[in-house]
């Protein structure tokens, strides 16, 4: 039997992990926990999962669970990452880990104390498309990298979605903006200067005629990062914009462009140099399966996961600066 994974919550994103585990020879989903026992039991039944629990704590007490997937709303990630590690479970924490460096450090301290693997769930980093982009940059296909432009937006309806809730650390930056930051940092390193604006705290009239903060998370955010070597990255993201995905890396001699950088459903790299444009296609691969296989292999072979402490701390550092978190 491979790595026995437990799901912390009945989140929608679990569907991607369940499908990935079904494809993986290394990982099996064996348990699910919910705040509601009935919901957990129904979820386990409909998804063919062996065990269900009516609290997250109970799942952490299950000896048949080796690793936990934390698919809770953002504001609960760091706390439950620590609790998983303290319970001796390896842990895959959905992005964003936390917008506070100290919380990320605390969670990785707990993981190191417990001798468990901890990793942040940026599935896009595992896709061959991302590695191909990096290898093209490394081979000098576009010369010296000077500018990165990243975008990720989609219209988020569902007013009840936790991503609209400031108490659960929602907001466009925390949700889709984190991919853009992840990309800029992957390509350029850690930024020396970090700036940006969101639409947070948009004031609208309340029924009493005064002004009230009706929406305290950002529904849109635009940022700029500057790096030691002079490279710049700009990004924008939003929940009140049409669906847009893109990653452009502009070098001294040309441009690399990914039209589908985050989901990589139709992966490929567009290379533009002078008047010439080439499109290199890449075989589609399930990023979530690669992410699970990476976790399983890191545990099995005692090697670090693709995304470890440094990456999660780097992400949090940028978010902390942008949000003043
Ligand atoms: N990597 C990716 O591709 C990707 C894609 C989407 C989302 N995500 C990340 O995955 C996480 C979950 O996102 P999602 O959209 O799938 O979540 P969701 O469907 O809104 O579900 C979140 C789950 O958390 C549990 N929960 C615990 N406390 C809660 C509270 N106070 N309010 C609401 N739910 C609460 C609920 O499960 P129970 O009621 O069963 O306990 C709920 O089903 C987020 O951090 C998001 O950033 C990642």
For residue 87, the domain's CATH number is 3.40.50.720
- For the chain, how many structural domains are there in total? 2
The whole model's pTM is what?
0.95
Least confident span in 114-123, 171-180, 195-204, 240-249: 195-204
* CATH number of the domain to which 207 belongs: 3.30.360.10
Is the CB of 12 within 6 Å of ligand 1?
yes
Cα 247 off chain centre by: 16
Average pLDDT for 287-303 = 98
pLDDT tens for each residue of 102-112? 999 999 999 99
In a domain, 314, yes or no: no
Q: What is d(CA 277, CA 223) in angstroms, rounded to the nearest whole number?
A: 29
Is the CB of 178 within 6 Å of ligand 1?
no
Is the CB of 265 within 6 Å of ligand 1?
no
Regarding whether 132 and 31 lie in a shared domain, the answer is no
The upper half-sphere exposure of residue 316, i.e. CA atoms within 13 Å in the direction of its Cβ, equals 22
Regarding whether 101 and 45 lie in a shared domain, the answer is yes
Parent domain of 214? 128-284
Is the CB of 95 within 6 Å of ligand 1?
yes
Tokens of 7: 């799901």
Is the CB of 91 within 6 Å of ligand 1?
no
3-state secondary structure at position 254: coil
Distance 88 CA to ligand 1 centre (A): 23
Distance 266 CA to ligand 1 centre (A): 26
Cα angle value 123/124/127 (rounded, 5°): 100
Regarding whether 16 and 42 lie in a shared domain, the answer is yes
pLDDT tens for each residue of 245-268? 999 999 999 999 999 999 999 999
Tokens of 233: 């990255």
Regarding whether 138 and 108 lie in a shared domain, the answer is no
3-state secondary structure at position 87: coil
Return the closest-CA partner of residue 136 out of 145, 127, 149: 145
Q: Which residues are catalytic?
A: 95
Q: What is d(CA 111, CA 155) in angstroms, rounded to the nearest whole number?
A: 36
Residue of 93, 95, 162 with the most ligand 1 atoms within 8 Å of its CB, for mutation = 162
Neighbouring CB atoms inside 10 A of 297's CB total: 16
Distance 8 CA to ligand 1 centre (A): 9
Q: Are 317 and 97 in contact (CB under 8 A)?
A: no
Q: Are 75 and 100 in contact (CB under 8 A)?
A: no
């Amino acid at each position: 039997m491979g790595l026995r994974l437990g799901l912390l919550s009945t989140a929608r994103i679990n569907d991607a992990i369940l499908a990935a585990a079904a494809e993986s020879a290394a990982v099996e989903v064996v348990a699910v926990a919910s705040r509601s026992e009935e919901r957990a039991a129904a979820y386990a039944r409909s998804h063919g999962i062996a065990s269900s629990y009516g609290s997250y704590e109970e799942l952490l007490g299950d000896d048949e669970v080796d690793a936990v997937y934390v698919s809770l709303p953002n504001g609960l990630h760091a706390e439950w990452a620590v609790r998983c590690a303290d319970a001796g479970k390896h842990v895959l924490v959905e992005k964003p880990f936390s917008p506070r460096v100290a919380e990320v450090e605390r969670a990785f301290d707990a993981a190191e104390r417990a001798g468990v693997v901890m990793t942040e769930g940026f599935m896009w980093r595992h896709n061959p498309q991302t590695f191909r982009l990096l290898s093209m940059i490394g081979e000098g296909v576009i010369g010296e990298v000077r500018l990165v432009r990243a975008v990720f937006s989609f219209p988020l309806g569902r007013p009840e979605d936790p991503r609209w809730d400031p108490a659960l650390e929602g907001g466009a930056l925390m949700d889709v903006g984190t991919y853009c930051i992840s990309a800029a940092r992957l390509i350029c390193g850690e930024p020396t200067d970090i700036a940006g604006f969101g639409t947070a705290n948009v004031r609208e009239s309340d029924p009493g005629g005064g002004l009230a903060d009706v929406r305290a998370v950002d529904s849109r955010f635009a940022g700029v990062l500057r790096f030691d070597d002079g490279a710049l990255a700009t990004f924008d993201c939003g929940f009140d914009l049409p669906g847009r995905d893109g990653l452009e890396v502009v070098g001294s001699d040309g441009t690399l462009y990914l039209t589908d950088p985050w989901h990589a459903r139709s992966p490929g790299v567009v290379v533009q140099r002078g008047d010439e444009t080439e499109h290199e296609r890449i075989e589609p691969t399930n990023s979530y399966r690669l992410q699970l296989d990476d976790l399983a292999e890191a545990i099995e072979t005692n090697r670090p996961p693709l995304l470890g402490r440094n990456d999660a701390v780097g992400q949090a550092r940028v978010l902390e600066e942008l949000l003043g978190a």
